[in-house]
């Protein structure tokens, strides 16, 4: 491609990409697939790489973060970015309206623009001839920090305005924020990486925006919503605030879809009440409503005080953060044995409710915050979100306070608490006995890949546990027809079927039994390996952590989980009770080790629908022969079994030259291996 051809092609490409960016990030209405969008970007990148002289500052390819900055420069706002006066009650709002009428010497109802007050960071963007040239924080209202490099990475901020009727010089003001889903994902990522969690979405947005490395900002889920114009070169914007925002939208800028124009202060009060009810369903955090006189000429007439415009007010919601004293720390046990520290607080009214308890997430977070008894802490509660401790006020910490420590035994059942250095979560090891884990233990024990107790679903388990008919999995085999019939919606036939299922499930395999115990990180494959390595349950129960690590696929963490599980007397008693009730399995010949099985070291993949058996059954047969069953095809795959309607895995196997057999051939193969089908 010649440079002349490139020039003809590059601008339509940029226009198309900018249009699709606008539809995706601003209108939330994409018109092409991600693949098609990526293809357009790749075309543009190819041209720009071939002809670097054609790269422009507003090209869509220039959104990625550049090199880290040593420091931010300063930007002076030609039109000051003022604060807003705050209203905390309906009376305050009515007083705001009264003052406006007094200043205007008019009794006519005022037209107001009503907008959600986003909980983010106020910024100013400058567009010169439609091209983004500068971005700055509000700062002290007179001078802010130059964050141009960072705002350029935010997808909802256009690098070039759409259309052509914009002013030659336009200052756009708005709020940069992180939506709730993005904030949740950000903290989940930080928790997995054992990093400090963000206190709230506003802090996360501020930290992201003020990071000296634009690459960090580019990887944060930031958005911008515009709420006003600052300096405009030739006054060529609409005469009313709401119409200005609609102009912004036409130029590709994002505005809030909840913005409304109403007449009279009573309509503002109704808007506030309606949005208060809707608040928790929004995809972003708001901390109030902003009411502005809609007519720009009236705004100019009303003017500003030293710190705030007289034509606008922010009606605040009840505070979502408050300070209180932490009186003690309790440790709760979840249904999977996870130990969660909970702060017990001096009651405090926050986020519209009185709070006396707040989550501390896990021990890593408790230690990171260094929360101690009698500390003064900041509590955050937003709507129905579980209250959480977000910060300790160290200046108010009493002398002689001691760090909080994890208890050594479960507060519910007394079993040892296990906490691996590689995991943030501490767990109770009494999985078969602990009453906090009772329902989850039974559900797992009865699941299809464990003892496969047909008809024992979650609702039936809830009934059995809630009526105290079953305390451990061993109690399942002591149930009678009479006790089951007393359950709601369990007639004689259902009771008989369930009793039959209990009896059938007693005939199992050692691998299934090990899996059914619910030992942390012991899945089907590991259970199979353990069964063939130790051959008997007694040998497995007696194995030390060192001996367990001699088993393929068992590392130090899993070995510790297994050893601690069998060290708990409670668990051993439940296992003994299960054996007494008649749970049994065929003996495994000790001479047959996993590495001596016919498919040892092989990797098989099952794809498509099998008709004679399920894929799970096929997987179990292959594992009994020593094979590893993978979920994807690679060059290391030994064999693929393709059932009906096999898709991409079959295609990939054929492309890689991996052997493929159909279901009929697979059945013959299993029979040749003397598998009991």
Q: What is the pLDDT of residues 109-127, one digit of tens each?
A: 999 999 999 988 899 999 9
pLDDT beyond 70 at 670? yes
Q: Where are the beta strands (DSSP E) in 187-272?
A: 223-232, 260-263
Residue 68 has a pLDDT of: 44
Give the pLDDT band of residue 497 (cuts 50, 70, 90): very high
* CA-to-CA dists, residue 310 to 89, 98, 116, 267, 487, angstroms: 18, 12, 19, 19, 68
**The domain 3-63 belongs to what CATH superfamily?**
Helix hairpin bin (1.10.287.610)
pLDDT digits (tens, 9 = 90+) for 573-624: 999 999 999 999 998 876 555 667 888 889 999 999 888 888 878 888 888 7
Residue 3 has a pLDDT of: 84
What does pTM read for this prediction?
0.53
* Tokens representing residue 47 in the block: 């041209």
Contact status, residue 579 vs residue 585, Cβ threshold 8 Å: no
Residue 69 has a pLDDT of: 46
From 433, 434, 446, 420, select the one nearest 563 (Cα to Cα). 420
Catalytic residue among 117, 292, 628, 649: 117
> At a CB cut-off of 8 Å and minimum separation 6, what does 275 contact?
116, 258, 286, 289
Domain ranges for the chain: 3-63, 85-316, 321-396, 435-580, 597-672
Longest Cα–Cα distance of the chain, Å, equals: 101
* Tokens representing residue 599 in the block: 């498919």
Residue 35 has a pLDDT of: 62
pLDDT beyond 90 at 59? no
**The domain 597-672 belongs to what CATH superfamily?**
BRCT domain (3.40.50.10190)
Residue 67 has a pLDDT of: 47
**Mean pLDDT score, 660-670:** 91
**Mean pLDDT score, 68-90:** 81
**Mean pLDDT score, 263-270:** 96
pLDDT beyond 60 at 66? no
Give the pLDDT band of residue 217 (cuts 50, 70, 90): confident
* Tokens representing residue 380 in the block: 């955050």
CB atoms within 10 A of CB 564: 20
pLDDT beyond 60 at 668? yes
Give the pLDDT band of residue 361 (cuts 50, 70, 90): confident
The CATH number assigned to the domain with range 435-580 reads: 1.10.150.20
Percent above pLDDT 70 for the chain: 93
pLDDT beyond 90 at 101? yes
CB atoms within 10 A of CB 242: 19
- For residue 644, the 8-state DSSP code is B
Q: Give the range with max mean pLDDT: 249-263, 410-424, 586-600.
A: 249-263
Active site residue 506: no
pLDDT digits (tens, 9 = 90+) for 515-562: 999 999 898 888 988 998 899 999 999 999 999 998 877 888 899 999
pLDDT beyond 70 at 442? yes
From 290, 235, 285, select the one nearest 259 (Cα to Cα). 290
In three-state form (DSSP H/G/I as H, E/B as E, the rest C), the secondary structure along 371-411 is CCCCCEEEEECCCCCCCEEEEECHHHCCCCCCCCCCCCECC
**351 exposure class (CB count in 10 Å sphere: 0-12, 13-18, 19+):** buried
Contact status, residue 118 vs residue 167, Cβ threshold 8 Å: no
* CA-to-CA dists, residue 417 to 114, 340, 413, 420, 568, angstroms: 53, 12, 10, 10, 11
In three-state form (DSSP H/G/I as H, E/B as E, the rest C), the secondary structure along 149-182 is HHHCCCCCCCCECCCCCCCCEEEEEEEEECCHHH
Residue 677 has a pLDDT of: 53
pLDDT digits (tens, 9 = 90+) for 156-187: 999 999 988 899 999 999 999 999 999 999 98
**Chain-wide mean pLDDT for the chain?**
88
The CATH number assigned to the domain with range 321-396 reads: 2.40.50.140
Residue 676 has a pLDDT of: 54
Pairwise pLDDT comparison (554 vs 444), residue with the higher score? 444
Pick the CATH number of 85-316 from 3.30.470.30, 3.40.50.12280, 3.40.50.970, 3.30.870.10: 3.30.470.30
For residue 195, how many C-alpha atoms fall within 13 Å in the half-sphere facing its CB? 9
**Mean pLDDT score, 285-296:** 93
**Mean pLDDT score, 7-32:** 76
pLDDT beyond 80 at 65? no
């Amino acid at each position: 491609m010649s440079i002349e051809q490139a020039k003809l092609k590059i601008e339509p490409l940029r226009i198309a990409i900018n249009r699709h960016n606008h539809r995706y990030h601003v209108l939330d209405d994409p018109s092409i697939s991600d693949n098609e969008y990526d293809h357009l970007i790749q075309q543009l990148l190819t041209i720009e790489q071939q002809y670097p002289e054609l790269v422009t500052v507003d090209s869509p390819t220039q959104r990625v973060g550049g090199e880290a900055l040593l420091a931010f420069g300063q930007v002076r706002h030609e039109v000051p970015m003022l604060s807003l006066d705050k209203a905390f009650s309906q009376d305050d709002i009515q007083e705001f309206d009264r003052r406006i009428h007094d200043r205007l010497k008019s009794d006519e109802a005022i037209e107001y623009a009503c907008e959600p007050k986003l909980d983010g960071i106020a910024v100013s963007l400058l567009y010169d001839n439609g091209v983004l040239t500068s971005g700055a924080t509000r700062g002290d209202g007179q001078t802010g920090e130059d964050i141009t490099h960072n705002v350029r990475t935010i997808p909802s901020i256009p690098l070039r305005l759409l259309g052509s009727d914009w002013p030659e010089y336009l200052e756009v003001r708005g709020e940069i924020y992180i939506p709730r889903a993005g904030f949740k994902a950000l903290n989940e990522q930080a928790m997995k990486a054992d990093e400090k969690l963000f206190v709230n979405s506003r802090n996360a947005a501020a930290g992201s925006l003020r990071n000296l490395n634009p690459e960090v900002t580019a990887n944060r889920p930031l958005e911008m919503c515009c709420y006003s114009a600052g300096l405009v070169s030739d006054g060529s914007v609409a005469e009313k605030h709401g119409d200005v925002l609609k102009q912004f939208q036409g130029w590709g800028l994002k505005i809030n879809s909840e913005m409304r124009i109403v007449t009279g202060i009573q309509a503002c009060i109704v808007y506030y009440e309606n949005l208060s009810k809707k608040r928790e369903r929004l995809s972003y955090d708001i901390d109030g409503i902003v009411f502005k006189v809609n007519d720009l000429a009236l705004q100019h007439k009303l003017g500003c005080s030293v710190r705030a415009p007289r034509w606008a007010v922010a009606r605040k919601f009840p505070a979502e953060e408050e300070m209180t004293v932490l009186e003690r720390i309790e440790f709760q046990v979840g249904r999977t044995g996870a130990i969660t520290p909970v702060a017990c607080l001096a009651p405090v009214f926050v986020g519209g409710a009185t709070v006396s308890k707040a989550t501390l997430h896990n021990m890593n977070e408790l230690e990171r915050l260094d929360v101690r008894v009698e500390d003064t802490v900041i509590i955050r509660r937003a709507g129905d979100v579980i209250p959480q401790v977000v910060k300790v006020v160290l200046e108010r910490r009493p002398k002689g306070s001691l760090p909080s420590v994890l208890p050594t035994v479960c507060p519910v059942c007394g079993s040892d608490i296990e906490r691996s250095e590689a995991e943030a979560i501490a767990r109770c090891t009494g999985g078969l006995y602990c009453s906090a884990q009772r329902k989850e233990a039974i559900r797992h024990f009865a699941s299809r890949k464990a003892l496969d107790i047909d008809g024992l679903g979650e609702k039936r388990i809830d009934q059995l546990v809630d009526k105290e008919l079953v305390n451990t999995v061993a109690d399942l085999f002591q149930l009678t027809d009479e006790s089951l019939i007393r359950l709601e919606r369990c007639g004689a036939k259902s009771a008989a079927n369930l009793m039959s299922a209990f009896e059938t499930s007693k005939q199992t395999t050692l691998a299934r039994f090990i899996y059914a115990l619910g030992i942390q990180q012991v899945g089907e494959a590991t259970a199979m390996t353990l069964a063939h390595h130790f051959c008997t349950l007694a040998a497995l129960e007696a194995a030390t952590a060192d001996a367990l690590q001699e088993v393929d696929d068992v590392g130090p963490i899993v070995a510790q989980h297994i050893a601690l599980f069998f060290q708990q007397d409670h668990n051993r008693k439940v296992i003994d009770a299960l054996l007494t009730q008649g749970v049994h399995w065929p003996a495994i010949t000790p001479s047959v080790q996993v590495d001596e099985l016919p498919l040892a070291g092989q990797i098989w993949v099952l794809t498509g629908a099998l008709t004679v058996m399920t894929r799970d059954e096929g997987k179990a047969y292959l594992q009994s022969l020593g094979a590893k069953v993978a979920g994807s095809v690679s060059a290391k795959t030994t064999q693929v079994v393709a059932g009906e309607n096999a898709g991409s895995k079959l295609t990939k196997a054929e492309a890689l030259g991996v052997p493929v057999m159909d279901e009929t051939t697979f059945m013959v193969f299993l029979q040749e291996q003397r598998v009991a089908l």
